[in-house]
Amino acid sequence: MLSKHDLKVLVRSRSLRFMRDRAAARYVPGAVASLAWRGRTVHYRPGSSDAEVIYKILLKGGRKAEYWVPDSAAPRVLWDIGANIGAAALYFGERFPGAEIHCFEPVRGNFEMLERNVAPHAIRAHHAALGAADGELEIHASASARNFGGYSFHYDGAAAVPVERVPMLTPGRVIASGQAPAPDFIKIDVEGAEYDILTAFPAERLARVRWLIGELHSKRSFALLEYLSQWFDIETRKTLGKPLFAFSARNKSI
């Protein structure tokens, strides 16, 4: 029997296969499926967390969408930090077709899906982590077999054995090297590295960002919100019992 959530997914996706692909039993290593969304093709790994990510970001319409912001946000340069398979980048690309979008994703499996999803669009994908220092970063496996996002730092929920080493760059280095212009809009979902990344931005650059949106996971979340409050009005949404919470921050100058 289908649950209420199953029916919502089915109605919004118009795909029985996509609804079924949310089940962990559908996972087969190397398998890739696709879903049609607003004239675009979105690729995902059946049985993984990909399908739920697509549902929350792309299929929930209007203000219910995971990263909804008003049209007035109108970004010129958008950084998607922790881009995963590119669902958020596709969402923002559809909402703001004039924006220059740069995606940063360190996990190789995610990056391969990201490249596949954004290749037909004017979206640039960077296979790198952002952080507080230039160098390398150990990516740890998720404690959930269905979550292929990995974790940027070892914290509650990360496996003890690193599974991947990736290049790590500071935001300032990315800007100075010309890899991407300074953003005026940032989406961030980096499994606990939010404080290190956002506080590594040169203060004068961060102060010019018009909008920040994403998830906070680490024990330093409230310290980060206090830091950001110098320049931003902040709204948060947290569900009891869950360690992470969503936030949206609008520059006080707007």
pLDDT in tens, 26-42: 999 999 999 999 999 99
Give the H or E element holding residue 92.
Answer: helix 87-95
Reported as a pLDDT band with limits 50, 70 and 90, residue 192 is confident
Is residue 60 located within the same domain as residue 78? no
- Measured distance CA(243)–CA(45) in Å, rounded: 25
Is residue 25 located within the same domain as residue 115? no
Is residue 60 located within the same domain as residue 149? no
Q: Which of 16, 37, 64 is the last residue of a domain?
A: 64
The total domain count for the chain is: 2
Is residue 100 located within the same domain as residue 212? yes
CB 240 within 8 A of CB 232: no
Is residue 241 located within the same domain as residue 171? yes
Q: Which 3 state secondary structure label does DSSP give 14?
A: coil
pLDDT in tens, 167-185: 999 999 999 999 999 999 9
Average pLDDT, the chain: 90
pLDDT for 15 equals 97
Is residue 5 located within the same domain as residue 74? no
- Measured distance CA(3)–CA(165) in Å, rounded: 40
Q: What is the mean pLDDT of residues 4-8?
A: 94
pLDDT in tens, 125-147: 999 999 999 999 888 766 555 45
Is residue 83 located within the same domain as residue 30? no
Residue with tokens 């992470």: 244
pLDDT for 150 equals 44
The pair of structure tokens assigned to 214 is 């994403």
Estimate to the nearest angstrom the gap between the alpha carbon of 90 and the chain centroid: 11
Is residue 58 located within the same domain as residue 115? no
pLDDT more than 70, % of the chain: 89
pLDDT in tens, 62-118: 999 999 999 999 999 999 999 999 999 999 999 999 999 999 999 999 999 999 999
Q: Is the pLDDT of residue 51 over 90?
A: yes
The pair of structure tokens assigned to 107 is 């996990």
Residue with tokens 């790198």: 128
pLDDT for 152 equals 36
The pair of structure tokens assigned to 50 is 């990909």
Q: Where residue 78 sits, what CATH number does that domain have?
A: 3.40.50.150
What is the DSSP-derived secondary structure letter of residue 183? P
Is residue 87 located within the same domain as residue 184? yes
pLDDT for 155 equals 38
Q: Which of 43, 64, 85 is the last residue of a domain?
A: 64
Q: Which of 19, 43, 64 is the last residue of a domain?
A: 64
Residues 6+ apart with CB under 8 A from 53: 44, 84, 85, 87
Is residue 137 located within the same domain as residue 219? yes
Q: Torsions phi, psi of 116, nearest 5?
A: -65, -40
Task: State which residues form the domain around 90.
Answer: 67-251
Q: Torsions phi, psi of 189, nearest 5?
A: -150, 90
Closest CA to 86 of 39, 149, 130, 132: 149
Q: In a 10 Å sphere around its CB, with 0-12 CB exposed, 13-18 middle and 19+ buried, how is residue 151 labelled? A: buried
> What's the Rg (C-alpha) of the chain?
17
Is residue 183 located within the same domain as residue 79? yes
Is residue 93 located within the same domain as residue 20? no
Q: Which 3 state secondary structure label does DSSP give 200?
A: helix
Q: Torsions phi, psi of 41, nearest 5?
A: -110, 125
Reported as a pLDDT band with limits 50, 70 and 90, residue 151 is very low
Enter the pTM of the model. Answer: 0.91
